[in-house]
Amino acid sequence: MMSLAWPLFRITEQAALAAWPQTGCGDKNRIDGLAVTAMRQALNDIAIRGRIVIGEGEIDHAPMLWIGEEVGNGEGPEVDIAVDPIEGTRMVAMGQSNALAVMAFAPRGSLLHAPDMYMKKLVVNRQAKGVINLALSLTDNLRNVARALNKPLEDLRMVTLDKPRLKPAITQATQLGVKVFALPDGDVAASVLTCLQDNPYDLMYTIGGAPEGVISACAVKALGGDMQAELLDFCEAKGDNADNRLVAQQERQRCEEMGVAVNRVYSLDELAVGNDILFSATGVTGGDLVNGIQRVANGVRTQTLLIGSADRTCNIIDSLHSW
């Protein structure tokens, strides 16, 4: 996979550059569509036999690189691809921070092949590897992580998303004294930040998109952290009503067809198999993980985080693009 590192980071760059001029336009689907088109064109220019194993679009009816889509020029290695052309389309549309173009590559058969649906995720860094278990309560997991890190619960830092579906988790954590950082969006960035050496968070707990979960698993594995995940149907994530039950039934049927299970806990090694994985994230709007695109004389500057699991490298790439 390492030979594909340069092409991969160029793909996320192209998606970010396509979306960035529309920052603040108020139309997240327009932004997603521009990024999808740029990614597809860039993917089809490189020497791979690629397959999108998990991508975004079905939950929010956005443009998408569809699951099962074949990309690349038909030559070279067989590659599994997990993609979110823009993680945080709403943030770009509203001119807010922490939006990324993200993608991960792995050898064929390495990444979890699942529908675009909701996923519960728990991520820790290498110091707490092996102590998490999504079959247990969040309270038990917080206590176990604190014990592994030799920290009192009052010093533990949990990052999550500021969503109604996560209010019970936020309440549980704060009642224990845990410090909670609730972000508006962006659990891929939160997963990576949790696993970096100078990490601002001790664990990440969210209910978000499955594509972001598989992409996050690639970064977590490359950084030596740990993760567990569980697919949730639409009713479990958004509440039980007639319309949501119809969506949930369709999701469960798709899961059965794809050979994955709802409400089964998946380990990191089941989400991303092996140690030959590449992860790339290019900033669109500025954030904690990487800088957003910045206008400079005669062009723009981009910043990309490129992680390779084979050699455990984490690279920050600053690029100048002249017009």
Say whether 118 counts as a known binding-site residue: yes
Say whether 87 counts as a known binding-site residue: yes
Say whether 164 counts as a known binding-site residue: yes
Residue whose tokens read 């723009």: 300
Instruction: List, as one string, the DSSP characters of 21-88.
Output: GGTTSS-HHHHHHHHHHHHHHHHTTSS-EEEEEE-S-TTTT-----TT-EES-S-S-EEEEEEEEEET
Q: Computed from CA positions of residues 309, 313, 314, 318, in that sequence, does the dihedral angle turn out positive or negative?
A: negative
- Coil/strand/helix, residue 93: helix
Say whether 266 counts as a known binding-site residue: no
Say whether 185 counts as a known binding-site residue: yes
Say whether 69 counts as a known binding-site residue: no
Say whether 27 counts as a known binding-site residue: no
Say whether 205 counts as a known binding-site residue: no
Say whether 78 counts as a known binding-site residue: no
Chain-centroid distance, C-alpha 309: 16
Say whether 32 counts as a known binding-site residue: yes
- Asked if 59 and 161 count as a contact pair (C-beta separation under 8 A), the reply is no
Say whether 209 counts as a known binding-site residue: yes
Say whether 259 counts as a known binding-site residue: no
Chain-centroid distance, C-alpha 90: 15
Say whether 89 counts as a known binding-site residue: yes
Say whether 74 counts as a known binding-site residue: no
Please state whether beta strands 226-232 and 265-267 pair in parallel, antiparallel, or not at all (unpaired).
antiparallel
Question: Which of 5, 102, 97 is closest to 314 using CA atoms?
Answer: 5
Say whether 154 counts as a known binding-site residue: no
Residue type at 214 in one-letter notation: V
Binding residues for Mn(2+): 32, 56, 84, 87, 212
Binding residues: 32, 56, 84, 87-89, 118, 163-165, 185-187, 209, 212
Binding residues for substrate: 87-89, 118, 163-165, 185-187, 209
